[in-house]
Chains A and B, each alone.
Chain A
């Protein structure tokens, strides 16, 4: 008699969550190394910032390829390779003495590691492991795992730096990232959706490209990337400029992290009951109102913390909904590939949000223009989600380009 497969949906969900927790969380702590590394190695801030911007771009560009390889040859292989690259990147970061070495380690190797161990690949496996009625909840739960990592790894990284110094802290993080490799064994398995579908990858790509909703999702996800990276990178500086203390600023960042965990999960759960496109539209609208209120009303610690809680709640809630919508419309066979392309939009937005924030601040001495752009983009994203046709393509009578 065959032994029952230990890779139950629950095990896939738990291991996928821990993988996301490690890959997204470790990356979240990189900002803490800016001051000690730049100070000791004599780098300017731009050397460090360029490598992290490069990392975001490499992550975004490599993600669709990682998704394609995962859909074709199995996600576990991609995750194992990514775990090794991530670990190598972190270990080499510790011994980088020049900007170029840091670009290769922190920028390229860690970026490649992220592309194979973060949202696209892991969520593809989790999405396939659950039936459609439970999929959104499962994606929300795995997203909450990533959010939890983002919340907890920042103080963990600081603890390591304080106790062991930045070099040893990076080596400990490298060792931690290696846990991704054994955890990937839970995500081994055949793409069961492949058996029930004769569609080739190029057909799936053509089908998605012809669906206007796919591009609306990509564009709205670009807005998500713009807003989250701008806030993550520039909010502490904005608060400091406005006379708030580091304690108040860090409380705001902690609130974003904490509410992000709850928001990711709840958005996933709600996506199982309500229309995902309307939920996405609401998220972008809420973000727009929150940003507008934050920059126009008098700034106090409480207004900042309420803003942080609202933004945190909507922070990664877009991920299970966007991923769930791709699965709902196009099916799960090429979920990693298609979501990874949508995610490329997110990473382009991230790059623009980080860069444009700094550029406009240098140009005008204020972040006000960027905040207003973020509000305008919120409105645009909220509107773009509305006309998406959420119906599953395979159930439509005739396959035709849909809105």
Chain B
């Protein structure tokens, strides 16, 4: 694999990781999650 291709692969992986982290984080603070977690203390 050439150097430029390696950089491209790593850049794509980094972008993918950032996307997953962003959507994962949004999932944690979604309305459904907060509602479920809030309710779990009262059941």
Interface residues of A (CB under 8 A from B): 31-32, 34-36, 38-39, 45, 151-152, 154-156, 158-159, 161-162, 236-237, 240, 246-247, 249-251, 253-254, 257-258
Contact = CB atoms under 8 A, between A and B. Distances in A.
Nearest to B27: A155
16 contacts: A32-B36, A38-B43, A45-B43, A151-B24, A152-B20, A155-B26, A159-B32, A162-B32, A236-B37, A236-B41, A246-B38, A249-B37, A250-B37, A254-B24, A254-B25, A258-B21
Given A152-B20, A258-B25, A250 B33 contact: yes
Contact of A152 (B24, B32, B34): B24
B29 interface: yes
Contacts of A152: 20, 24
A64 B25 CA distance: 35
B2 interface: no
A39 B24 contact: no
A241 to B, nearest CB: 9
Listed residue (A32, A236, A246, A257) with the most chain B CB atoms within 10 angstroms of its CB? A246
A250 B40 contact: no
9 shortest interchain CB distances as A-B pairs:
A155-B27, A254-B28, A162-B32, A35-B40, A246-B34, A35-B39, A246-B38, A158-B33, A38-B43
Contacts of B36: 32, 35-36, 158, 161
A232 B25 CA distance: 17
Interface of B is mostly: helix
Interface of B: 20-21, 23-30, 32-34, 36-41, 43
A195 B34 CA distance: 54
Contacts of A249: 37
B41 to A, nearest CB: 6
A159 B32 CA distance: 8
A155 B25 CA distance: 8
B15 to A, nearest CB: 16
Contacts of A162: 32
Contacts of A154: 27-28, 33
A240 B41 CA distance: 9
Contacts of A38: 43
A237 B41 CA distance: 7
B24 A258 contact: yes
A251 B28 contact: yes
A39 B43 CA distance: 7
B23 to A, nearest CB: 8
Given A36-B36, A161-B36, A258-B21, A247 B43 contact: no
A247 B34 contact: yes
Contacts of B25: 254, 258
A299 to B, nearest CB: 18
A350 B34 CA distance: 25
Given A158-B27, A159-B27, A254-B29, 9 more contacts: A152-B24, A155-B23, A155-B28, A158-B30, A158-B33, A236-B37, A246-B38, A250-B34, A250-B37
A162 B24 CA distance: 16
A144 B15 CA distance: 17
A151 B27 CA distance: 10
Interface centre among B20, B21, B37, B38 (most CB of A within 10 A): B37
Contacts of B27: 154-156, 158-159
